[in-house]
Structure 1
Amino acid sequence: MNSPAPPTPPAPTPPSPGRSSAIDRFLTVVERGGNALPHPATLFAILAMVVVLLSWVASQFALSVQHPTTGEIITPVNLVSVDGLHRILTGLVTNFTSFAPLGTVLVSLIGIGVAEHSGLIGAALRQLVLAAPRFLLTPVMVFAGVMSNMASEIGYVLLVPLAGLVFLAARRHPILGMAAAFAGVSGGYSANLLLGTIDPLLAGLSQEAARIIDPAYTVSPAANWYFMIVSTFLVTGLGWWVTERFVARRFPDAPKDDGSEDIEPMSASEKRGLLFALVATGALTALVMWGTIPADGFLRDAETGDLLNSPFLRGIVALIFIYGVVAGVAYGIGAGTIKSDADVINGMGKSMSTLGIYLVLTFFAAQFVAFFNWTQLGLIFAVNGAGLLTQLQLPGVVLFAGFIVLTALANLFMGSASAKWALMAPVFIPMFMLLGYSPELTQIGYRIGDSVTNIISPMMSYFALIIAFLQRYEPKAGIGTVVAVMLPYSMTFLAGWTVLFAIWMAMGWPIGPGSPLEYIPAT
């Protein structure tokens, strides 16, 4: 889905001729439209060139707007000029190296790579599903899927097929378990109790976009944490209800015996590794609490004693790295999967080796974002768009509901969360800021829309892999099968999450540490 460099999945099985339903026909159009798009890296390269040309067109028409806070007259900067050429040539490298999401994603993945390479994440997921009573298998599977998102693609390649085996062993239909897990992994992508690699990535893109309006604005990777925590339980509850209320009707219990093996119980070494990881994580958490809970904690702001803009919040990415390394090494020592420092370094290196395509994508995305900011077209579009929305006088909930639906539809054609947000953030974040809404709130709206249609989008990188998993139990399963199974989840998540968003706005609750709903320009 939204991971930096997913493996190439098998080609999807086309629907059987003569049995084409309305859903199959619709998805055929969606698939063809999505396949007609170039690679995301190529797309950003093309868009960067389009921005350069648009800067020339805008300058020829002498477009201008008044800055809403400074009163300064803003005019487009023409990059089709000698000065523009010089700026492009001298800024090409620094655009890439200073791109906010780059460093945060690399650092996060190094730490999480140790936890994944040591076997901690896989063992923890197995323990979670094995320990659940039969009547709680469904919510546990959805919850495990949501939590697996902190480790990128591990939920797709490990949990979804594992869920089929778990349900089969419990004498329930395996597709029922895979649907519940897939709903949590992909449909609940923006819910979690913990922070993962996508949080600093999106926060970096949001920060770049917010600085079109406010050059000093910062967006923390923990900007949406409170909302994500509540969303975890919402997605788990809704996923449980949809699975038992709708999907179970199509896939009743007592499936045929296909000779599938049962899940192996946890070995003694794995249990010992989990115990070591639990102790190490608990000790590290106690240290973090010692630094944050007391008024004079060493992780608080040294001058004000506040947690806002403190080393704790500014260092969230570093903490993700430290937790991943500490827990991963502790598990590896206990389970015997890490025998030397070389194993730890190899785990870090393995996580980096998956980032080749992501780095190429980031290079071109960084150029597009930089060019867009240089031309000041984003600010001009945002001011004009905000003026139009102000004249319409629509309630904030209605505006954001439309934004969520727009994102959900865009996700059908472009599966990468970072690629879409790099395109949408420079337009929508400044626009909503001018209407008084914070970048963090706009990011939440985007994340909801981006999550809910992942499970029905053929453009999602792992969609074909899910088809292959289903075909183990239903050989004729194809695109229409997956969509028919997952559509109830998608629509329910969209409705439920939007209602939660509306309630959150009405109550005025902060969506994360130091993340208000409103944007008030600095004076």
Structure 2
Amino acid sequence: MTGHTSGRPQRGFLGMIERVGNRLPDPTVLFLYLIGLLMLLSWFGASQGWEASLAYSGDKAPAYAELANGVLTYRATNLFSEENIARLFTEMPRTYASFAPLGLVLTIMLGAAVAERSGLFSALIRASLGNAHKALLTPILALIGMVSHHASDAAYVVFIPLAAIVFAVAGRHPLAGLAAAFAAVSGGYAGNVVPGQIDVLLLGFTQEAARIVQPDWTMNPLGNWYYILAIVGVFTPIIWFLTDRVIEPRLGPWGGVVDEELRADLDKAGITAEERKGLRHAGLVALLLTCGFAALALWPGYTPFIDEAATGPARLQPLYASLIAGFFLLFLLTGAAFGRAVGAVKGADDVMEMMQHGVRTMAPYLVFVFFAAHFVAMFNWSGIGPILAINGAAALQGMALSPAVLLVCVLLLSSFLDLFIGSASAKWSALSPVVVPMFMLLGVSPEMTTAAYRMGDSYTNIMTPLMSYFPLILAFARRWDNTVGVGSLLALMLPYALGFMIAGIAMTAGWVLLDLPLGPGAQVYYTPPGR
């Protein structure tokens, strides 16, 4: 296998992406620029009298809007005005602390940190892959890779190099295993078997944006569950086919030898008797917790997770809202049970230390959210988001494009931006205040718009050198072939990216055309309350 070394200048389209992307600032700094641009735009819009109106059936106007005779009107407001400058500084702590995604993500992260630091996530990955049957090695690897998103760094640091080792010991080319694992973990980032942190994070931004149109819209953590589960079902056979029929034949036979060092690596990658005991304990805790949550929704005469006054799917809203706490407890208690069995947790102090470490790892996110929260808040103060959404929706209605075509456009925009800006939350926090309310006005639900975005944000992860883990994957590849460079790795991953893109577009359009449910209580189309 040949390829460029990482230090050589890259030419062509991929080289252009690398050069342009390297010139972009950090996402946090990018939001500073966006805030400055927004302030200038608000001044211009206010001076030009920008406004937009729509019919409104409610009796109370949303924030930053005027209601008269059943018509809701938004007007551009100058962010340089005395009122908005005062609001910016006097409300700064409240703007930051009240940003919905912040509390949601931190709550889950406190529990996930225990599951990760105790070794539970790592053991789950190693136990699953270590027992994979040779004939089914690729699909099992693909499935585990997409599920391993919940393990955060462990998915990249543990799972991907382990996949290469398992392929080598099975007599297959290790780079094929590495490529399949990278495709599953990063290219299939939108898919999973159960919702997790990324669902809460993205749908938290969606909630803030949806409230521009419907002030009481509440995020459902399961709002994309059926969609992300379907991605696993669609992407797994694609990875299986491409790895076994395209990638591995292209690489040719592996000429390496399964020596003692390689077998020792695999042995180290296995799980110990203590870890097996810990996994059993964690599984028992997960079962008991699931039964407890079910009891709170089904116990006769005592159902705190059911809204008895509501009808239809709204009855389950307390259950959906409780899932944030449920994920927190699941990760916390299973991690503690596993850690107790393997000796990583000896008492409450160890659990507290793990939770504190989780908060420390969130420091970059906390800095980013400070600026993202103010950008979103100032977007609302300016009125520009609703004005763009209402006028944009009217323009799109005039074009008579179907919802399926519109959502594919969102998907493609997301995938293009992902080549340059890796952070899914950074892109969505900037896009959602415009596209979510715009599509709601066109009759598309916030959950469906989010689903289209996350599909586009997924498959291009493996096609950009700007992806944060790309240098690490390159280093893993060079263990098996020291000639592998940036271009070599990108060429290796291109078939997966193209396969995922085609399947993702078809799946998203088909979901809309068939009007399939996205999750419990979540549909493709949006109907305003009272209609």
TM above 0.5, yes or no, is: yes
Aligned amino acid, residue 273 of structure 2? A
Residue in structure 2 matched with residue 400 of structure 1 by the alignment: 407
Give the SS at the match of 1:72: strand
**Hey, what's the Cα distance between the residues in 2 that align with 1:13 and 1:522?**
58
Aligned amino acid, residue 470 of structure 2? F
Residue in structure 1 matched with residue 108 of structure 2 by the alignment: 108
Rate the CA distance shift 1:253–1:271 in 2: closer, same or farther, 3 A. Answer: farther
- Structure 2 residues without counterparts, runs of 5 or longer: 57-69
**Hey, what's the Cα distance between the residues in 2 that align with 1:321 and 1:13?**
43
Give the SS at the match of 1:217: coil
**Hey, what's the Cα distance between the residues in 1 that align with 2:231 and 2:212?**
30
Match of 2:287 among 282, 288, 291: 282
Residue in structure 2 matched with residue 34 of structure 1 by the alignment: 21
Is 1:46 the counterpart of 2:51? The answer is no
> Bigger CA drift: 225-234 or 439-448?
225-234
Q: Quote the offset at 1:83 in angstroms.
A: 1.3
Q: Quote the offset at 1:68 in angstroms.
A: 4.0
> Bigger CA drift: 253-262 or 126-135?
253-262
**Hey, what's the Cα distance between the residues in 2 that align with 1:236 and 1:289?**
31
Is 1:303 the counterpart of 2:306? The answer is no
Is 1:426 the counterpart of 2:426? The answer is no
Give the SS at the match of 1:338: coil
**Hey, what's the Cα distance between the residues in 2 that align with 1:107 and 1:229?**
24
**Hey, what's the Cα distance between the residues in 1 that align with 2:441 and 2:368?**
30
Residues 122 and 151, structure 2, Cα contact 8 Å, conserved in 1:
no
Residues 79 and 382, structure 2, Cα contact 8 Å, conserved in 1:
yes
Residue in structure 1 matched with residue 324 of structure 2 by the alignment: 317
**Hey, what's the Cα distance between the residues in 2 that align with 1:291 and 1:132?**
37
**Hey, what's the Cα distance between the residues in 2 that align with 1:376 and 1:159?**
46
Residue in structure 2 matched with residue 128 of structure 1 by the alignment: 128
Residue in structure 2 matched with residue 255 of structure 1 by the alignment: 255
Residue in structure 1 matched with residue 60 of structure 2 by the alignment: none
> Bigger CA drift: 294-303 or 177-186?
294-303
Give the SS at the match of 1:73: strand
Q: Quote the offset at 1:314 in angstroms.
A: 0.4
Is 1:14 the counterpart of 2:21? The answer is no
Residues 307 and 313, structure 1, Cα contact 8 Å, conserved in 2:
no
Is 1:514 the counterpart of 2:521? The answer is yes
Match of 1:500 among 486, 501, 507: 507
**Hey, what's the Cα distance between the residues in 2 that align with 1:172 and 1:188?**
23
Residues 206 and 432, structure 2, Cα contact 8 Å, conserved in 1:
yes
Aligned amino acid, residue 152 of structure 2? S
1:382-431 CA distance string (max 9 Å, x none): 11111111111012111111221111111101110000001111111111
**Hey, what's the Cα distance between the residues in 1 that align with 2:311 and 2:384?**
40
1:423-478 CA distance string (max 9 Å, x none): 11111111111111011100000000000101111221111111111111111212
Which structure 2 residues correspond to residues 77-88 of structure 1 after superposition, within 5 A? 77-88=77-88
> Bigger CA drift: 194-203 or 306-315?
306-315
Rate the CA distance shift 1:140–1:295 in 2: closer, same or farther, 3 A. Answer: farther
1:343-373 CA distance string (max 9 Å, x none): 1111111111111111110000111111011
Residue in structure 2 matched with residue 486 of structure 1 by the alignment: 493
Rate the CA distance shift 1:482–1:68 in 2: closer, same or farther, 3 A. Answer: farther
Residue in structure 2 matched with residue 7 of structure 1 by the alignment: none
Residues 173 and 254, structure 1, Cα contact 8 Å, conserved in 2:
yes
**Hey, what's the Cα distance between the residues in 2 that align with 1:36 and 1:252?**
37
**Hey, what's the Cα distance between the residues in 1 that align with 2:356 and 2:186?**
26
Aligned amino acid, residue 66 of structure 1? S
**Hey, what's the Cα distance between the residues in 1 that align with 2:155 and 2:340?**
24
Q: Quote the offset at 1:298 in angstroms.
A: 4.2
Aligned amino acid, residue 285 of structure 2? A
**Hey, what's the Cα distance between the residues in 2 that align with 1:39 and 1:266?**
39
**TM-score w.r.t. length of structure 2:** 0.92
Q: Quote the offset at 1:120 in angstroms.
A: 0.8
Give the SS at the match of 2:71: coil
Residues 67 and 74, structure 1, Cα contact 8 Å, conserved in 2:
no
- Structure 1 residues without counterparts, runs of 5 or longer: 1-11
Rate the CA distance shift 1:305–1:68 in 2: closer, same or farther, 3 A. Answer: closer
Residues 389 and 438, structure 2, Cα contact 8 Å, conserved in 1:
yes
Residue in structure 2 matched with residue 221 of structure 1 by the alignment: 221
**Hey, what's the Cα distance between the residues in 2 that align with 1:302 and 1:71?**
33
**Hey, what's the Cα distance between the residues in 1 that align with 2:252 and 2:294?**
47
Q: Quote the offset at 1:299 in angstroms.
A: 2.5
Is 1:270 the counterpart of 2:275? The answer is yes
**Hey, what's the Cα distance between the residues in 2 that align with 1:294 and 1:237?**
41
**Hey, what's the Cα distance between the residues in 2 that align with 1:307 and 1:255?**
58
Rate the CA distance shift 1:138–1:458 in 2: closer, same or farther, 3 A. Answer: same
**Hey, what's the Cα distance between the residues in 2 that align with 1:216 and 1:519?**
14
Which structure 2 residues correspond to residues 7-406 of structure 1 after superposition, within 5 A? 13-14=5-6, 16=8, 24-69=11-56, 70-257=70-257, 259=259, 260-262=261-263, 263-264=266-267, 265-293=270-298, 297-304=303-310, 308=314, 309-406=316-413
Match of 2:484 among 474, 477, 496: 477
Aligned amino acid, residue 216 of structure 2? A
**Hey, what's the Cα distance between the residues in 2 that align with 1:190 and 1:290?**
31
Residues 76 and 383, structure 2, Cα contact 8 Å, conserved in 1:
yes
1:62-83 CA distance string (max 9 Å, x none): 1121134342332101111111
Give the SS at the match of 1:520: coil
Give the SS at the match of 1:424: helix
Give the SS at the match of 2:480: coil
**Hey, what's the Cα distance between the residues in 2 that align with 1:108 and 1:242?**
35
Q: Quote the offset at 1:123 in angstroms.
A: 0.6
Give the SS at the match of 1:67: strand
RMSD: 1.8
Rate the CA distance shift 1:295–1:430 in 2: closer, same or farther, 3 A. Answer: farther
Aligned amino acid, residue 290 of structure 2? T
**Hey, what's the Cα distance between the residues in 2 that align with 1:13 and 1:427?**
41
Rate the CA distance shift 1:64–1:303 in 2: closer, same or farther, 3 A. Answer: closer
**Hey, what's the Cα distance between the residues in 2 that align with 1:422 and 1:327?**
32
Match of 1:412 among 416, 419, 427: 419
Give the SS at the match of 1:350: helix
Aligned amino acid, residue 124 of structure 1? L
Residue in structure 2 matched with residue 6 of structure 1 by the alignment: none
Rate the CA distance shift 1:495–1:221 in 2: closer, same or farther, 3 A. Answer: same
**Hey, what's the Cα distance between the residues in 2 that align with 1:305 and 1:126?**
45
Give the SS at the match of 1:472: helix
Aligned amino acid, residue 419 of structure 1? A
**Hey, what's the Cα distance between the residues in 2 that align with 1:439 and 1:158?**
35
1:44-64 CA distance string (max 9 Å, x none): 111112111111110111112
> Bigger CA drift: 392-401 or 316-325?
392-401
Give the SS at the match of 1:62: coil
Aligned amino acid, residue 303 of structure 1? A
